[in-house]
Structures are given as C-alpha cells and as structure tokens.
Structure 1
C-alpha cells in the first residue's frame, strides 16, 4: 500500500519550485534588514540557550561557556611588523643607541652587565658576591650618575654598617642615588615571590629608579629552596621589566660543588631555567693560591657583546680595605687609589693557573678532618664532595706518606 502511494506521488511543477524559491529569497532579505544585535565573545563549544520570561514578556539568553574565549585580535601591531622589510628594520635599529655598559667594560664595547638587560652574578657561599655587587652599585651611582635600588635580603642594616666602617669608626659615604631599604621591615612579603615582586616594582616606580640589584634570588622562593616553578615566575617577570627599560642584576648561589671547581653555567642554582632567561651571566670563584682573600670573576654569557673574560682571561681580585678603610671591595693587582673605582679591568689570568693548587689544598683539608676523627661521610658533607672521593684521596694521602717514609729509611 505504501509502495502504491509512493508511486502515485507527482514531482513538483516548475511553477511550484519557482514560487518556493521566491519565498525563501523574501525571508532572507527580511532577516538581513533586521537590526543587528551585538553578542559577547563566543567560546569554543559554548551553548547559547533562550528562555521566555513571563514576567517581563521578553526572551532572555543563557550562555554556558565550555572552552577558551575566541576574541578578535587587532591588526595594527601585526601590520606594523609584517609591513617592514628586514633592511628597513636594520636601518631603524642602527639609529637606536647602543646599550650602556654598567660594569666590566673592556674598552671595546664589551662588558659584564649592560643597561636594559637581566643579568646574573653567582658563586659559592662566602666568595664575596654581596661585596662585589655593592661595589658595582657604588660605581653606577657615583661614576655613571644613575640611581640604583639595592635589595639586600640577607644582611641587616647593622651588619651592613659594620662592614662599611673603618677601624677608627668612620662610616663610608654613599651617593644619595643609592637606595638600600631595610627589608626586614617588610618580612610579610619575603616568603611569597608574587608579593615580593609586586613590592619591588612599587619601590622602583616610587623612586623613579631603573636599575635594580637583587641580593639574592634564593630568598625569593618558598622555604628558602629553589623550585623550577618559582624561578620561572620570578625570571619571567624580571624579563618583562628589562623589556620595559629596567636593568636588573640578580645575585644567586651555586648548588653544592667541590671547592676550587672551574665554573660554568651549570653551576648556577636553577640553571635549567634561570640562565635561559637572562642576557648576561658572570660568576665569582676562589683562587687556590690564597683562598681567604683572593677571588676571580669569570664571564659565562653575554648577548650584547663578546665574551672576553673567559677561562683564559678571568679577572683576578683581592678583597680588602687597603685602598679605602671604609670600603671592603674587590681590588685588581696594580690598581691604585685613583683608578680602583673604574670598572675597566687591567689584568687577567688563566682560571687553571688560579686553581693549580686545588688538589693539594683538598688533600690538606681531608687530612685535617680525618685527623680530627671525622668519618668519610662527614668529611664529604663538610667539603661538598662524595664519600667515594674522600676514600680515594685518603688512599692517595696514605700512599704519599708511605713513599716519604721509604725515602727517609733509604
């Protein structure tokens, strides 16, 4: 029966098809002439449902977002980027000023730290990182006449005062352009990287200062320990500031490494993320010739210039107050009172030469701890080396002692 009905159906005539098409066109024209209504940005997978409100007699819409917002992007910035040729961009860059060298100028346009960049200075504990950083701040404020905000998260103002006071109680006189706030008064912000960064930005803006020295990075992370997510947050923010025209030097530690180890980028704490963010990296090492007072500075990364202070040309220093009794500072050999404040180095050395006695010093320290009755593991913890290394060195010491005894018997 159904088959019979299907066979008896007639195809629509051409007049019917034409009339239907005219009706569709009229409906479409009416829709196009309706007032346009603006809708909020639509999200991927978003559901828009309509309901009738009996009280108001109007239709209302409910939006249920289930994805990321798709918003129209302005084309102005994109057009300005794509509309330039590489030659035109290079000509414009040529007319921009070359970044000022803030520290470590070699006299040929290369340095350790440049203006408008994020840099890192790192080293082992008790190598004088803070002393060197304060010396940099002193140079920038007095010789370059630029303001510096120095954030010291380790030393109290009393400790700082004692360090920069002569034996006859004379205080060092600083430039008024150097600002060192007492951070112990804002301890509420020191255990949270986001709060501390917000506080630092407010300080910079209030003082109208564009140069920041942060001493040190490990105090900005939770529980005093470096975490990758904290490093990423801090450095990404500081990188944004550098792009805005700020110059930032961050002081950082090394993980536990043996003393007198040649320095490289992997020795910077949090190096997997930190050194990728920054433009310049330089480090302080301890000379094995006189570990109590002799140091050297080694350049490890530079994007604005050449690396000139490498392992073959490290900068040797002695830490003392001989030039200025109120100023504990790094002094290069041959520096006089007249030129000590200049950042231009006059002498270099090979890192290997400054570490050539390292093995003998390590053996001496291991022998001393061993004679005090410490175990191999305890000695390893004291010297930041493995217990296996301690055992090997003790056998070396014993073999040397036996040879000396045989020579005396002969």
Structure 2
C-alpha cells in the first residue's frame, strides 16, 4: 500500500521529473538562486539593509549590480521592512529629502500597521498575511528584514529558529518563492574570520537554509565591507575566506548602496591576530566571572595595566572596574 506522506521513485525517475522544472536563475550572482531560502547576516550598522534593498531593486528592475551576475528576469519583490521608518527611508534615498531616487514599481515595501500590537514569528497570522500579500502583488521574491525583530529571544532558541525555517520552506514550496532572510550576529571577536557559528540562531537557521552569506566590516576603511560565502548548494563554493568580495558603501545618484571593488583574503580586513595564551586567559576570566581587573591580574600573575590593555584591545565594550 502506497504511503500517504512519502513518494518513492528511482534515482533516474527523479532526474527525469527534474527535466520539467525550470533551471534556477541567478538573483545575486552565485550567492542566491531562484527558489532558494538564503540567509544574509551581519553585525549591526554594517550594511545589511543597504545591500539587501540594493539586491531587491536589482531583481525588481532586472538590472544586475555591477560586479555581480543576474540571469533572472525582472520580477515582483516583496520587501518586508521591519527596520526603517518612512522618513529614514526617504533620507537614505534622496539628497537631503529632495531629488529622490526612483525605484522600480516591481519592488513592494511591506511594513506593520502603525497601531499593530507586538507580534512574533510563532504567530500563524503573520505568515498567513505575508502569503496573502505575496499572492496579491504577484511577487516571486520575498525579503524579510530583519528576522530577529520578530523573535522574542533573538532566535537563540533552537526550536523557534527551526519552526521559523520550516514555515518559510513550506511557503517557498507552495508559491515557488525565492526568499532572502536578513539576520543578525551577536557581538563577535573582530580578529576572527566570520563563520556560521556567528549567526544568531545559527544551528536552527543554517540547517534549513539553501545558502548562507555574511557581511564583514573591513578595518582598512570605515565605508568598506566584504561579502563572504558560508553555505551553497546550487553552485561551486567561490567566496570563502581566501576570496571575499570587497565593496564600498556610498551614495551614487541618490541611491545608498554597496559598490563592487574586487576580491581579497579576509585576513587583510580583520583586526590583528588573536590573543596570546595569557591574553585569552584574561578575556575568559573577564567574560565568565564578576572579577575586578585587579583580581584578574592577581589570578594570572600580571599587573593591572596588562589586563586593562588586553580588554581594550579585544573588547570594544570593556567597562572600567
């Protein structure tokens, strides 16, 4: 008797059936393809929204971002903006609120109603309403900025992250959607290469994602960022730590975007090498215990100034004790 939930075919039948499925086209080079759930994450104030909205405008207009491939045709994009107010949006894409940039009409911006009470990602109403808007506006691309805004515990709960990804994967399958999720990274050591572990809710989110990319901030220039590829299924792995994509954030023709510069090794854009054994011991004691700097110095056998310099070197948020 055939199963009511499973389908069993030969491997050759799987391939034959796949011939009738359109080949996924590039949305953002080989970093994001059609009908994929992709995650883009970075720390605060680095450029997540700037880049994601730039990608959305590129897809809506059918015009590639310079330096990146785009093989998909112009199509509707529903951009869920849970970050900026209308006036902040206005300022970012204008010359001091005048001479505004003209976006493509295929790009739709979704925001919460002003009088809406708090909502979280476990609320079925949220996803039901998202689905209705996608269908109503005939969108094939969905961007959620920022998914941690909808979470009660910043997606640190594995169950919450898993539930979210399962719903989004189902939404992708039902509507043949391409989904880009913007996520956050907790405070990370600026001298270490970025990894999947740096993403909030990393295990739950990345497990179900088709691709994961991140943005890092370069130490060489306050306006320079880099893009790094962390997970890929539909293409070869190209943009790892030895070949990150360099971009500069600037406003061109009243459009604030990230503009391609070239490629480089990630290590050239990180702070100096990691801590020595003694410095690491100081950092561990500082983060794991409520100890004063004098007590830490006595524990590790150094002077208080060494503790002070170590914390200033590796922790931007070090608090004097």
TM-score (norm 1): 0.62
Runs of 4+ off more than 6 Å: 387-390, 395-398
Offset, 1:305: 1.2
Report the 3-state secondary structure (helix = DSSP H, G, I; strand = E; otherwise coil) of the residue aligned with 2:18.
helix
Normalized per residue, which structure has more helix?
Answer: 1
- Compute the displacement of 1:189 (Å): 5.7
Whole-Å separation in 2 of the counterparts to 1:130 and 1:115: 20
State the distance in 1 between where 2:194 and 2:113 align: 32
Q: Which residue of 1 aligns with 2:183?
A: 252
| Of 253, 267, 270, the match for 2:201 | 270
Distance, in Å, in 1 between the alignment partners of 2:47 and 2:201 is 20
Specify which of 287, 310, 316 is matched with residue 240 of structure 2: 310
Counterpart of 1:193 in 2: which secondary structure?
coil
The offset of 1:294, in angstroms, is 0.5
| Contact 2:155-2:201 within 8 A present in 1 as well | no
Mean Cα displacement is larger for which, 203-212 or 161-170?
161-170
Aligned-partner SS, 2:114: helix
- What is the match of residue 264 of structure 2? 349
Q: 1:260, 1:286 within 8 Å by CA — same for their partners in 2?
A: no
Q: Answer yes or no: is 1:187 the counterpart of 2:112.
A: no
Pairing of 1:121-132 with structure 2 (within 5 A): 121-132=40-51
Moved more, 170-179 or 324-333: 324-333
User: 1:170 maps to what in 2?
Assistant: 99
Secondary structure of the corresponding residue to residue 311 of structure 1: coil
Provide Cα deviations, 1:119-148, integer angstroms capped at 9, x if missing partner.
Answer: 100011111000000000010000131000
Who is 2:260 aligned against?
A: 332
For these two proteins, the number of residue pairs brought into alignment is: 278
CA RMSD of aligned residues (A): 3.0
2:70 corresponds to which residue?
Answer: none
1:236 corresponds to 2:236: no
The structure carrying a bigger strand percent of its residues is 2
Q: Deviations over 1:100-129 (max 9, x none)?
A: 1110x2xxxxx0011111110001111100
SS at the partner of 1:222?
coil
Closer, same or farther: CA 189–149 of 1 in aligned 2, 3 Å: farther
The answer to whether residue 13 in structure 2 is matched with residue 88 in structure 1 is yes
Shift of the 179–198 alpha-carbon distance from structure 1 to 2, 3 Å rule, reads same
Q: CA shift at 1:223, angstroms?
A: 5.8
Distance in 2 between the 1:161 and 1:314 partners? 31
Q: In 1, Cα distance between the equivalents of 2:239 and 2:215? A: 12
Q: CA 1:243–1:396 in structure 2 vs 1: closer, same or farther (change >3 Å)? A: closer
Larger Rg: 1
Listed one character per residue, the Cα deviations across residues 36-73 of structure 1 (whole Å, up to 9, x for unaligned) are xxxxxxxxxxxxxxxxxxxxxxxxxxxxxxxxxxxxx8
Q: Which runs of 5+ in 2 are unaligned?
A: 63-72, 276-284, 288-295, 314-321
Q: When the two structures are superposed, what TM-score results if normalisation uses the length of structure 2? A: 0.78
User: CA–CA distance in 2 between the matches of 1:309 and 1:219?
Assistant: 28
- Tell me the residue number matched to 1:11: none
Shift of 1:225: 6.0
Say whether the 8 Å CA contact 2:155–2:200 is kept in structure 1: no
1:120 is matched with which residue? Answer: 39
1:291-338 CA-to-partner distances (Å, cap 9, x unmatched) read x200000000011111111111110000001xx2310000112xxxxx
Deviation at 1:92, TM superposition (A): 3.1
Which sections of structure 1, spanning at least 5 residues, go unmatched?
Answer: 1-72, 106-110, 334-346, 363-375, 379-386, 399-410
